[in-house]
């Protein structure tokens, strides 16, 4: 079992809105601090007495034996608390070892279990030094909460921006694919209308001549309406007649010779 496991259990049991819980609270601030409590919980409901409880966390037998040898050390902060608790792993404290005015919690899989209730004692009025130590922890907690809130907000913004960029890239890629597919379909339709294969177009026209030819037909408008085709026929027919007349004249001349 780790100290973090016990801290997490204390946080679940002594939580808002009934309690304000602080960890590593000294008996003063700065260089004046000489002793520390692993945790201090302030009751916030008047109906529960607004009590102040202190906690010492022990996860090894060796730590507990060391604590037993100096029980007066805890008094630096315990004197301001109406209850003082040892919070340990199961079986760590043997029967009869706990001081009379201390309570005992053990951490089990289903949470904290009271092994020995901590008697309520007459606490001393808290000193300014100890009050400053509590307020420092409260201030640090507020800053941590604020920092975590800012980090979460920044992470959300980054995720939103990332998603927006991904959507934009996906849209542009999809549009480019659609445009390419549409262009390919239209080009194939032109090949089909001409009765040609792409390699035949390259061999017959070369370069961009095929595109120029298609463009010329488009500008003439002959493929748009029936009137366009009729107009083209009207313009081309005299030329065809002239060619026929010319070819007939050549034929007659060759026959006479």
User: What would the DSSP string read from start to end of 107-143?
Assistant: EETTEEEEEEPPPP--PPPPPHHHHHHHHHHHHHHHH
Please tell me whether residues 99 and 24 are part of one structural domain: yes
**CA proximity to 10, closest of 28, 34, 37:** 37
Task: Report the number of distinct structural domains present in the chain.
Answer: 3
Please tell me whether residues 110 and 142 are part of one structural domain: no
Tell me if residue 196 falls in helix, strand or coil: coil
Are 118 and 85 contacting, i.e. CB atoms less than 8 angstroms apart?
yes
Residue 75 has pLDDT above 80, yes or no: yes
Q: What is the C-alpha to C-alpha distance for residues 214 and 222, in angstroms, rounded to an integer? A: 11
Mean pLDDT score, 184-211 = 65
The residue with greater pLDDT, 252 or 44, is 44
Last residue of a domain, one of 88, 110, 126: 126
The domain of 192 spans 130-220
Say which CATH number the domain at 121 has.
3.40.1350
pLDDT tens-digit series, residues 123-180: 999 899 988 888 888 877 656 655 555 666 666 767 777 787 888 878 888 888 888 7
Please tell me whether residues 160 and 247 are part of one structural domain: no
Please tell me whether residues 45 and 108 are part of one structural domain: yes
Are 245 and 238 contacting, i.e. CB atoms less than 8 angstroms apart?
no
0.85 surpassed by pTM: no
Q: What is the C-alpha to C-alpha distance for residues 110 and 52, in angstroms, rounded to an integer? A: 25
């Amino acid at each position: 079992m780790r100290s973090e496991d016990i801290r997490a259990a204390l946080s679940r049991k002594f939580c808002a809105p009934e309690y304000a819980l602080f960890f590593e609270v000294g008996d003063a601030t700065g260089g004046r601090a000489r002793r520390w409590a692993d945790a201090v919980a302030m009751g916030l409901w008047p109906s529960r007495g607004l009590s102040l409880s202190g906690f010492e966390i022990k996860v090894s037998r060796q730590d507990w034996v060391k604590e037993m040898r100096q029980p007066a050390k805890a008094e630096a902060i315990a004197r301001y608390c109406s209850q003082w608790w040892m919070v340990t792993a199961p079986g760590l404290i043997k029967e009869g070892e706990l001081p009379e005015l201390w309570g005992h919690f053990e951490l089990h899989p289903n949470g904290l279990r009271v092994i020995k209730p901590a008697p309520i004692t007459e606490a001393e009025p808290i000193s300014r030094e100890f009050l400053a130590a509590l307020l420092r922890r409260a201030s640090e907690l507020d800053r941590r909460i604020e920092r975590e809130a800012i980090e979460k907000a920044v992470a959300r913004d980054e995720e939103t921006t990332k998603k927006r960029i991904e959507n934009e890239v996906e849209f542009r890629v999809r549009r480019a694919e659609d445009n390419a597919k549409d262009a390919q379909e239209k080009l194939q339709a032109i090949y089909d209308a001409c009765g040609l294969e792409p390699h035949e177009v390259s061999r017959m026209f070369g370069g961009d001549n095929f595109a120029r030819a298609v463009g010329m037909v488009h500008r003439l408008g002959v493929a748009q309406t029936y009137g366009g085709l009729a107009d083209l026929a009207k313009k081309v027919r005299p030329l065809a007649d002239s060619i026929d007349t010319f070819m007939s004249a050549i034929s007659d001349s060759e026959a006479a010779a």
